[in-house]
Structure 1
Amino acid sequence: MDMSIALILSQDGITNGAIYALLALALVLVFAVTRVIFIQQGEFVAYGALTLAMMQSGVLPATVWMLVAMGALVTVLDGGLALKAGQGRRAASVAGWNLGYPLALAAVVGGLAVKELPLAVQVLLTLAIVVPMGPMMYRLMYQPIASAPVLVLLIVSVALHIAMVGLGLLFFGAEGQRTPAFSEFSLELGPLMVSAQTLWVVVVSVLLIVALYQFFERTLYGKALRATAINRVGAQLMGISPTLAGKLTFFLAAFIGALSGVLIAPITTIYYDTGFLIGLKGFVAAIIGGLASYPLAAVGALAVGLLEAFASFWASAYKEVIVFTLIIPVLLWRSLRSHHVEEEE
């Protein structure tokens, strides 16, 4: 291996590591706030990429109807509770946000020639479709069992992952999709040719991480999520709604997943089940951070990306094995340094 090959592999590793870092941060955030191991994070990546691909092929994305169905269920649950409590205005608000919005979005996407719209508008429509599924998923699947043990929440996550993979096959088919690059620009740095899409991935990832840091440090909702992550019971006693914290957390996780899918769709072919492996690598990075430390998770993500890139050169047939084996020494090290702590009641 000469220096030019090492630079190319490092570029690939940093690009992949930037995406894994975003997913790892989302996984750490969801677990810290809700105790949910968000296995289906990768499915939001695939749904975001394939929804954009369907728009660009001139087909109405089936994910629109999934959003409508989820919104209808949330409307029945929350709207029914509001009506029973005599809160007609709240029931109307619930119906407007959870049913009116998806139906209006379906009408807009179905009525426009989405294929001819600018890429930025297509990306915004993709996020508008996929991201609201996050808080709706929390309301339907996790909120009723929010106080359940972590093992029960994990079983629910596994079931949702399997369901979303099956729905992905139904919605998008077995064929892989790839979207056009955001720009054809490329930058030559000595022996290294850096494509514009690589720059998009790295720059957007860094900007999003900075934006999340500012959100948690300077906004009221961000501080509420931090408080919930540190002490759920204490935050609840201080008036912070655990339901709101859960929905907001799932919103951020879905946004990160969908945006990551949009960013990597021009770089690699995305299949209905591609998100599982991508999510698992983000999970490895989150484990390196102990499902608690954001900086360690980000560093772990870069390590996973670089290890994957160099392993693909030296032993491409075993690169996945090498990446996932990384979790074993990390778990051993953490098990030797940590003490058993009873789960918070």
Structure 2
Amino acid sequence: MDFQIALLLGQDGITNGAIYALLALALVLVFAVTRVIFIPQGEYVAFGALTLAALQAGKLPGTLWLLLGMGIAVAAIDLALAVRRGTARRIPAIVGWNIVYPAALTALLWLVKPAELPLPAQVLLALAVVVPLGPMVYRLAYQPLAEASVLVLLIVSVAVHLTLVGLGLLFFGAEGSRTPAFSEGNLEIAGLTISGQTIWVVIASLALIVTLYQLFERTLYGKALRATAINRVGARLMGISTTMAGKLSFLLAAAIGAFSGILIAPITTIYYDTGFLIGLKGFVGAIIGGLASYPVAAAGAVLVGLLESFSSFYASAFKEVIVFTLIIPVLLWRSLTTRHVEEVE
């Protein structure tokens, strides 16, 4: 390997690591707030990319029908609870978010021609379809079991993952899709050619990380998420709704996943089940951070991207094995250095 090849591999590693860092941050956020190891995080990556590809092809994406169906299911459950508890004032919000919004979005996509819209509008429409699925998944699958053990929540995550993968195959088929690049230009630095899409990925990832930092530090909802992550019982006693915090964390996780999928769709072909492997690599980064530290998780995810890139050069047949083997020494080190405390039921 010469220096030029090392630079190219480093460029690929940083690009992939930026995406893994976003997913690692989402996984740490969801686990800290809800104690859910969110295995389906990668499905939002695939849904975001494939939804954008469907819009660019002039088709109504299957995720739109999933949004409609899940919205009706959530509305039915919440309306029944509102009537039973006598909280009729919540009915307009329930109907508006879960029924009116998906119906209006469906009518909009039916009337306009998404393939003729500019790329920013297509991206916004794809996010508008996929992101609301996050809190809906939480409401249907996790909220009823919010006080269950981590093991039970993990089993539910496996079930949700398998369900979403099957729905992805039903909606988009087995063929992969790739979207046009955001930029066709290249940047030359010291003899190294950096593609415009790589620059887009890195800059957009850094911008999203900074935005999340500002959200947690300067907004009331961000501080509520931090309080819930630190102490759920204490946050509840201070008037913070842990249900609201759970839905918000899943909303952010869905937004991060869908945005990540849109960023990498021009770089690699996305299939209905591609997100699972990408999400697992983000999970390795989250494990390096102990599912608690955002900076360490992001750094670990970049390390995973670099390790994957250089492994593909030296031993391409074993690059996945090398990447996932990284989790073993990390878990061993944490097991030896962490004081074990029995879980209080």
- The answer to whether structure 1 residue 43 and structure 2 residue 68 are counterparts is no
Partner Cα distance (1:183, 1:200) in 2: 8
* Aligned residue runs from structure 1 range 233-312, under 5 A: 233-312=233-312
Deviation, structure 1 residue 340: 1.6
Q: Helix, strand or coil: the match of 1:183?
A: coil
Deviation, structure 1 residue 89: 3.4
* Aligned residue runs from structure 1 range 139-288, under 5 A: 139-288=139-288
- The answer to whether structure 1 residue 137 and structure 2 residue 141 are counterparts is no
Which residue does 2:339 correspond to in 1? Answer: 339
Instruction: Give 5+ residue unaligned stretches, structure 2.
Output: none
* Aligned residue runs from structure 1 range 112-123, under 5 A: 112-123=112-123
- The answer to whether structure 1 residue 18 and structure 2 residue 18 are counterparts is yes
Moved more, 187-196 or 61-70: 187-196
* 1:211-249 deviation digits (Å, cap 9, x = unpaired): 111111111110110011011111111110000000000
Q: Read off the aligned partner of 2:235 and give its amino acid letter.
A: A
**CA RMSD for the aligned pairs?**
0.8
* Aligned residue runs from structure 1 range 35-114, under 5 A: 35-114=35-114
* 1:251-275 deviation digits (Å, cap 9, x = unpaired): 0000000000000000000000000
Instruction: Give 5+ residue unaligned stretches, structure 1.
Output: none
Deviation, structure 1 residue 344: 4.7
Partner Cα distance (1:38, 1:18) in 2: 19
Which residue does 1:326 correspond to in 2? Answer: 326
Q: Helix, strand or coil: the match of 1:158?
A: helix
Q: Read off the aligned partner of 1:269 and give its amino acid letter.
A: T
Deviation, structure 1 residue 192: 1.2
Q: Read off the aligned partner of 1:316 and give its amino acid letter.
A: S
- Residue 67 and residue 344 in structure 1: after superposition, are their counterparts in 2 closer, same or farther (change >3 A)? farther
Q: Read off the aligned partner of 2:50 and give its amino acid letter.
A: L
Partner Cα distance (1:332, 1:200) in 2: 37
Partner Cα distance (1:3, 1:292) in 2: 36
Q: Helix, strand or coil: the match of 2:194?
A: strand
Partner Cα distance (2:192, 2:158) in 1: 41
Deviation, structure 1 residue 190: 2.4
Deviation, structure 1 residue 80: 1.6
Provide the TM-score with structure 1 as the length reference.
0.99
Q: Helix, strand or coil: the match of 1:77?
A: helix
Partner Cα distance (1:223, 1:254) in 2: 20
Partner Cα distance (1:104, 1:255) in 2: 20
Partner Cα distance (1:59, 1:342) in 2: 52
Partner Cα distance (1:301, 1:90) in 2: 41
Answer whether contact 1:15 1:201 (CA < 8 A) is retained.
yes
Partner Cα distance (1:237, 1:25) in 2: 27
Deviation, structure 1 residue 92: 2.2
Partner Cα distance (1:112, 1:148) in 2: 44
* 1:133-186 deviation digits (Å, cap 9, x = unpaired): 000111111000000000000000000001111110100000110000011111
Task: Give the aligned length.
Answer: 345
Deviation, structure 1 residue 87: 3.4
Q: Helix, strand or coil: the match of 2:177?
A: coil
